[in-house]
Amino acid sequence: MSKTEVTLDKLSSLAKRRGFIYQGSEVYGGLSGTWDYGPLGLKLKKNIENLWWRTFVDERHDMYGVDAAILMNQKVWQASGHMETFTDPLVECGNCKARFREDHLNSEVCPVCGKADSMGESRQFNMMFETTIGPVNPRTTFVEKSKSSSGEVEQKISFKELPTSLVYLRPETAQGIFTNYKNVVDSFYPDLPFGIAQIGKAFRNEISPRDFVFRSREFNQMEIEYFIREDNWEAEFATWQSDIKDFLIKQLGLDSDKLHEEDVVGDELAHYSKKTIDFNFDFPHGSDELLGLAYRTNFDLKNIQDNSGKSMEYRVKGSDDSFIPHVIEPSFGLERALMAVLTSAYREDEVEGKTRTYLALPEHLAPIRYAVSPLLKNKPELVDKAREVYKLLHDKHPGRVMWDDSGNIGKRYRRQDEIGTPECVVIDFETIEDDGKVTVRNRDTTRQKRTLPEKLD
Ligand code: ATP
């Protein structure tokens, strides 16, 4: 079976058609940079997320999980440097007023109106979303009720000036880990090295969200802060680098030819990092960052200690040796991982003279493990037996078995191919009249075999 060049259009239209990913708020014309996950996209996302958690947290003995609040005290972002430095360079076209991230423009010509040399001065734009906590938003319209002689009257008071209490939607999950480091140490007193992991939403007011879910304004991160002794950072970094590569290729099934590790140098290196490797992937729109692995020194814990006045030191058990641990940070974006999985799995080939599209997803990631069909849906004896088989498989794979009896069998296969279902199980007359065996049709080879349903994994 040959692999196919996959474009963003092909990927996003399959994702929409088959119930993986829809544009956010689509019914009202959409909201740029937001995406809604349909039944199959949600399953795929959860499968990736659960696999990540199992591999990097549950199967290890040195990891702890946390789930911190999205809204955090604004001091967190002052101390971390995000208030000052979490910015992208913004330029505006003097002609059509469209705004762009300066480093994403690759010519002097405005991509919207086509005018040359029309970009104004570059300004630094902070990407954190602001909101206020408590009923203290100066923009709130308050409604007050007062009694008049003729009864109760509603009076609207707009733009009441009240003190603001500014908070930010977190732009990364990492700070929710750092701010809980001391809590975890006090509760569990783990030996060093140990890690704290978190999966959750992050928000960035990207200047120009684009490339399907690749650059969104609301997305999920899967992050780990791995606390180590400073003198050991190179060895720890190398181990993480190789564990991540294994995960991407062996567990997520990414095409290894499309994966590139790149040393981040110079201005590109984040202010907190002494070494960063970006794992880039050849997405349909080009090679771009899938995830980052950074040696963040003790920058964050030291800042927290300096700004909170609370000690972040770790004391080695049974000794007076204490210090602020250093940190290795693997930082995955869940949506980018999902997009890389879809890109690697997308295939087109020819079956019976027609182009067929299918997703060659690894079996453990496929949203649906088996589709079960009666050959004909108007034959009660076939339907009854198929229901029995459906139940048997559903008990083994809760939520991952689909009942599919619409259209003819060829159409059902095509539909299941497109959503990456590894095997379709069909109950026909031979099943009920002869040997009890069902037809099992393989997605990748399209070959069929007959087997007893009890023998299916
Ligand atoms: P980029 O350079 O692409 O903007 P970044 O270097 O700012 O990304 P990090 O701050 O290192 O990204 O965030 C860690 C991970 O979070 C990224 O590798 C990516 O997987 C994910 N991520 C970051 N921004 C976005 C976004 N806007 N949409 C989806 N995922 C994102």
- Residues 59-76 have pLDDT tens digits of 999 999 999 999 999 899
pLDDT in tens, 277-290: 999 999 999 999 99
390's tokens: 């459906």
Residues 6+ apart with CB under 8 A from 139: 159
Amino acid at residue number 69? A
Average pLDDT rounded to a whole number, residues 258-263: 97
- Could you tell me which of 379, 385, 419 has the C-alpha nearest to residue 402? 419
Residue 293: half-sphere exposure toward Cβ, Cα within 13 Å: 20
Distance CA 427, CA 431 (A): 6
Residue nearest to atom 14 of ligand 1 (CA): 331
Instruction: Using alpha carbons, list the distances in angstroms from residue 121 to 42, 59, 100, 381.
Output: 42, 51, 12, 74
Instruction: Answer whether 182's CB lies under 8 Å from 161's CB.
Output: no
DSSP 228: E
196's tokens: 């704290």
Average pLDDT rounded to a whole number, residues 294-321: 95
Average pLDDT rounded to a whole number, residues 321-327: 97
Residue nearest to atom 31 of ligand 1 (CA): 333
Atom of ligand 1 nearest to the CA of 333: 20
How high is the pLDDT of residue 86?
Answer: 86
CB of 300 within 6 A of ligand 1: the answer is no
Amino acid at residue number 391? K
**Residue 66 Cα to ligand 1 middle (Å):** 21
Q: If pLDDT is split at 50, 70 and 90, which confidence band does 143 have? A: low
Ligand 1: residue of 80, 104, 219 to mutate (most ligand atoms within 8 A of CB) is 219
Average pLDDT, the chain: 92
How high is the pLDDT of residue 438?
Answer: 96
Q: If pLDDT is split at 50, 70 and 90, which confidence band does 272 have? A: confident
Instruction: Answer whether 222's CB lies under 8 Å from 292's CB.
Output: no
Instruction: Answer whether 359's CB lies under 8 Å from 418's CB.
Output: yes
pLDDT at 101 over 60: yes
**Residue 294 Cα to ligand 1 middle (Å):** 13
Instruction: Using alpha carbons, list the distances in angstroms from residue 380 to 81, 96, 143, 424, 440.
Output: 67, 64, 62, 20, 21
Q: Which is more confident, 41 or 162?
A: 41
pLDDT in tens, 357-394: 999 999 999 999 999 999 999 899 999 999 999 999 99
- Could you tell me which of 342, 385, 394 has the C-alpha nearest to residue 366? 342
Q: Which domains does the chain possess? A: 32-86+171-344 (3.30.930.10), 105-166 (no CATH), 368-455 (3.40.50.800)
DSSP string covering 392-440 = HHHHHSTT-EEE--SS-HHHHHHHHHHTT-SEEEEE-HHIIIII--EEE
Average pLDDT rounded to a whole number, residues 110-133: 89
Q: Which is more confident, 105 or 136?
A: 105
CB of 33 within 6 A of ligand 1: the answer is no
